[in-house]
Structures are given as C-alpha cells and as structure tokens.
Amino acid sequence: MKENIRPSYSQLQGYLNQLSQVKITNNSVKSSGMWESYHNTLGRLTEITHEEYNDFKLEIKTARMGLNDDYKYNYVELDNFLFQLGGLITLLYGEYFFEERNPLDGTPSTVINTTQNQSQSLKFEIIVEMTELITKQLENYKKDTPERNFLEKVKDGLKDGKGITELINLILKTGTSLGLTAATILQLLSR
C-alpha cells in the first residue's frame, strides 16, 4: 500500500513547495488549478486507502469587487491551504512513511513566513508609494475641490492597511461618489 500512496504523498509535498511561488494577494490563492489538483489527490488517496480525507478539503470562497460588486472570483485562504496540506502530509508520514526523513522538518514555517513576509512587504511598499504620491498631489489642489477630497479620502483609507483589492475598490468607489472620471482618477494617481 505504501508504494501506491507514495506518488500522491510526493505530489502533496510538491504542492507545498509550489505554494511559495504562486501569486498570492490578501492571504488568498486564486489559482483554481492548485486547489483542484489538491482535491483530486485527496480523491486518489481515498481510492487507494479506502479512508476518507474530507477533513482536509479546502473551503472555496467567493469574493466580489467592482463598482457594483459585479465581478466575482473564487479563492482559498492561504493559511487554511497550508494548514490542511501540512496536516495531511503529517498524517500520511505518521501512518506510512514514519521510518523516512520527515518532509516537513522546517518546511511549513519557512513557506508560511516567506510568503507572509513577501506579501506584507509588497503591501507596505504600495501603501508607502501611494501615500507619497498623494501627499505630493495634494499640493496641486485647493481645499474642497473634488480632486482634493478624493486624494484625502484615499490617503485616509491607506491608513487601514487594507489589501490591494480593497484599495482598488476604495479608489473606484470614492472617485465615482465624487463624480470623477476614470481619466481624472488616473491623472490624480499618476506621477
């Protein structure tokens, strides 16, 4: 049985490795191929072992964005994906591969910390850059103009430290509510 499980066991370790290379925003993995492959591997393990692995299935969530929340996309939370994947690898290791080297010695925390640090660093860079840009642009507009009000509201929104999706929503909704065109918003947020 062990040798029949090995390909799936190795595949799970590969998913863990690939998660560090997938584009991740706001703690979410939007690459459906990644979680679909993972769920297929769970199915293969069930066929081979005749045991259920439903506890390790990922919760697929749906997010909405756009001016009227009319754009939807599916995602899974990175933290949950890593937790389930690490738990399943550990379970298989304990049941079938305990005499081998543990594949997770140091790996999960390294992947989680690296991914979180990269994501937080990028988010911080964007917030700093946007704040600097808006501060410079504020000098060009008088108080109580729609342009200045827009810049001030977006700058205040940056203090919340929200993710990229929320930032884009903030920019579009604020600009629209103040009657600004897309061209004006682009001009205000360009160097």
pLDDT band at 116 (very low <50, low <70, confident <90, very high): low
What would the pLDDT profile of 157-185 be if each residue is shown by its tens digit?
A: 877 766 677 777 788 888 888 888 888 88
From 151, 157, 158, 152, select the one nearest 190 (Cα to Cα).
151
Give the pLDDT of residue 50: 92
Q: Does residue 154 register a pLDDT over 80? A: yes
pLDDT band at 32 (very low <50, low <70, confident <90, very high): confident
pLDDT band at 69 (very low <50, low <70, confident <90, very high): low
Full-prediction pTM beyond 0.95? no
* Dist CA 38 CA 75 (whole Å): 14
CB-based contact 127:161 (threshold 8 Å): yes
Mean pLDDT of the 102-130 span: 62
Give the pLDDT of residue 183: 83
Give the lowest-confidence range in 17-31, 61-75, 101-115, 147-161.
101-115
Which comes out higher in pLDDT, residue 124 or 14? 14
Q: Which alpha helices (DSSP H) does 20-106 contain, by range?
A: 32-49, 78-96
Q: Does residue 190 register a pLDDT over 60? A: yes
Give, to the nearest 10 degrees, the angle between helix 164-177 and helix 107-138: 20
pLDDT band at 101 (very low <50, low <70, confident <90, very high): confident
CA dihedral 164, 167, 169, 172 (to 10 degrees): -130
Count other Cβ atoms within 10 Å, centred on residue 95: 13
Q: Does residue 35 register a pLDDT over 60? A: yes
CB-based contact 80:59 (threshold 8 Å): yes
CB-based contact 86:16 (threshold 8 Å): yes
Give the pLDDT of residue 39: 92
* Dist CA 97 CA 104 (whole Å): 12
pLDDT band at 110 (very low <50, low <70, confident <90, very high): very low
What would the pLDDT profile of 76-88 be if each residue is shown by its tens digit?
A: 888 888 888 888 9
- CA separation, residue 12 to residues 9, 31, 49, 155 (Å): 5, 16, 16, 42
